[in-house]
Chains A and B, each alone.
Chain A
Amino acid sequence: MIVRLRSVSKIFGSRIAVNALDLDVPPGLCFGILGPNGAGKTTTLRMVYGVTRPTAGSIEVFGLDLKKHLRAVRSRLGVTLQQNVFIEALTPIENLRVFGRYHLLREPELSRRIDEVIEFLELGSHANMPVRQLSGGFQRRLAIALSLMNRPELLIMDEPTTGLDPAVRLALWSRIRELRAHGATVLLTTHYMDEAQRLCDRVAIVSDGRVVDEGAPGDLIAAHLAPEAVEVDCTPEEESALLDGTIRAARRLRVGRRVTFYLSDAAPLVERVRAADHRRPLVVRPTNLEDVFLALTGTSLEAAA
């Protein structure tokens, strides 16, 4: 295992941020930690790279006891922080140079690595202007470039694509896949379920500092919900009329007027909805990780009647 957490807890004052968490990240995978705001994702990552000290439990990274080998472990991993940290008055190249020195890189190797990460993240066109003039997308790319300066075996990314436009996200996903293809292990957090589903080999869903479930995205979906989802706008009375006792939805999720039914076969329900009112808005789609996430982290999901 690249990362191994055993009953790790972190308590801030009276607040339990991480609660007896177990986590195993195997080598060469992209591993996602998903969870609502405040679930303890950032705290968990900080404990993995050793800045936050756990209140209890043991952490091994690269098979090394983190407490005893902190510097050695950190020299082999890279971290993209949730919030970018730059010297805003300096250019990307100057920022990379300063950061490379934190890893004790020296010329000519330092310049070689800078060229390498600038090319990899396509920062060349903006490499010589002050960072504060860069767009959010370029800033995020620079943040990732910084975390690659030491050619890490483990890349830890805290919400790498939050706030980015779809094109930049696609570009970053392909970079992350490329890193994994070259043997790096990636441990990331995200609030985008589509990102987790398309990028991660395994995900752990955490809530209140605990792992609620863990597995490959496809397996998690299959384990928790029926494969087809039907979304309809209707009141609770209309809903029971629609189902009419003959259609058995495995589960359903209501948020305001919108209800999502999870079914092994959507066709009968779709027919019934169309028959009742052919203009009623209706979405039929495969069940996805977002549905599982909502089911597991508790947004009033109930079993259908």
Chain B
Amino acid sequence: MSLSLPHALAVWRRDAAMYRRTWKLNILPNFFEPVFYLLSIGLGVGAYINEMGGTPYLVFLAPALVCVAAMNGASYEVTYNIYVRLTFEKAYDAMLTTPIEPDDVLAGEVLWAVTRALIYGGCFFIVVAAAGLAPLPGGLWILPLLPLTGLLFATIGLVFSLRIPNIDLFSFYYTLFLTPLFLFSDVFFPLRERLPAHWLWVAEVLPLLHPVRLARRAFQGEFSPVMLWDLTYILAVSAVLLLWARRDMDRRLTS
């Protein structure tokens, strides 16, 4: 097995060509979801909250929702879309008649999921900035975080998608994994302040918590050692899952 970047980019371009055709349909639900949360929870519920984590509630919420948008962008891509390409469209069967190899397919797909995370997170960041909720230029530090969030959720989703026997199981992924993550990963309230001391480690296991914490620090313009741990978590978990996905991808494509 070997990776060829030009071939991986050809895979990426296939997805981009398809996306150009359907982006209006795709982007609306993905993108508006965090907008609605910002309006409903941020403005609605936020009106009854003086401050959270030392800032006005909207300012607390906004950077976290940027990460959520990135998470959603990557997740849709590596769940339904990958599954359809793999089992119904047989897109990879066609690719593997050319010099493209399974490693290139994996790299191209991960790259594309990261791109979508960047598109969704980036658009949402513009909304947040336009609403005056992002400190500029310091808040721009959130941007390099978007591909990292994309990478993390691309690898998590891929490992799931490559192993499930049928498409219905994605509802488990969304309702039993992504939704609880969204609700409990420091997005709406600081989880650590609500957990008993001996359960604190649970918070650290949640993947979304780390990008959210980093994003909030980026908006606050503060740097602290815990950010190194957050970065390490994201990179290490992504790397391990990527190796796992690589094995599964090879098995699925070359039986």
Chain A contact residues, CB within 8 Å of chain B: 12, 49, 51-53, 70-72, 74-75, 77-79, 81, 83, 85, 87, 89-90, 94, 97-99, 101-104, 146-147, 150
Cβ contact within 8 Å between A147 and B97: yes
Cβ contact within 8 Å between A99 and B96: no
Q: Which of A53, A72, A85 contacts B91 (CB 8 A)?
A: A85
- Sample 10 A-B pairs with CB under 8 A, ordered by A number: A51-B93, A51-B254, A71-B101, A72-B99, A77-B97, A81-B97, A87-B91, A98-B13, A103-B99, A104-B99
Cβ contact within 8 Å between B254 and A79: no
Given known pairs A71-B4, A85-B91, A94-B17, the reply for A51 and B99 (CB within 8 Å) is: no
Cβ contact within 8 Å between A104 and B10: yes
Most buried by A among B11, B14, B95: B14
Q: How large is the interface on B (under 10, 10 to 19, 20 to 34, 35 or more residues)?
A: 20 to 34
Cβ contact within 8 Å between B94 and A99: yes
Name which residue of chain B comes closest to A94, CB basis: B17
Chain B contact residues, CB within 8 Å of chain A: 2, 4, 6-7, 10-11, 13-14, 17-18, 21-22, 89-91, 93-101, 253-255
Question: Chain B binding site: helix, strand, loop or mixed by DSSP?
Answer: helix
Q: Which of A71, A77, A85, A90 contacts B17 (CB 8 A)?
A: A90
Question: Chain A binding site: helix, strand, loop or mixed by DSSP?
Answer: mixed
Given known pairs A51-B96, A74-B97, the reply for A89 and B254 (CB within 8 Å) is: no
Cβ contact within 8 Å between B90 and A87: no
Cβ contact within 8 Å between A83 and B90: yes
Chain B hits for A53, CB < 8 A = 254
Chain A hits for B95, CB < 8 A = 102
Cβ contact within 8 Å between B253 and A99: no
Most buried by A among B93, B94, B100, B255: B94
Question: Shortest Cβ distance from B62 into chain A, in angstroms?
Answer: 35
Given known pairs A71-B4, A85-B90, A104-B10, the reply for A78 and B21 (CB within 8 Å) is: no
